[in-house]
Structure 1
C-alpha cells in the first residue's frame, strides 16, 4: 500500500509480485526500504475500482539510471 500525498482519497500500491520482472521494481524489492520511508515511484496505471476508494493507482518503480 502507498499514500499519494495530496490525493489521500485515492488508493495506491506497488505490486512487487506482478511487476517483479521490471528492473526498478526488482531493485526496490531487494533493497526493502523501511516502513514509512518516502520512495519515488511512477504511475503505471490508473483504474476505476468497484469499491472504495473508487480510483486505484497501480505504481511501478523507475528503472535504475544506465551509466
Structure 2
C-alpha cells in the first residue's frame, strides 16, 4: 500500500464512523423529543447532549460485538 491509499482508507474509516455516530445521534435525539411532554430550550440542549453520549456508546458497543 502506498501512503496515499493508506490516507484514503483512514479518511474513509473516519467518515464512516462519523456518519454512524451522526445517525445514532439523530435517532436518539428524535426519540428523546418524542418521549418528553414539553420541549423547551434546556430539554433540547440536554437531549442533544445525552443523545451524543448514547451515540458514541452505541458505536463502541457495536464495534466491540463485531470484533468477536
More helix by share: 2
TM-score range, shorter chain: under 0.3
More strand by share: 1
TM-score by length of 1: 0.27
TM-score by length of 2: 0.27
Q: Which has the larger radius of gyration?
A: 2
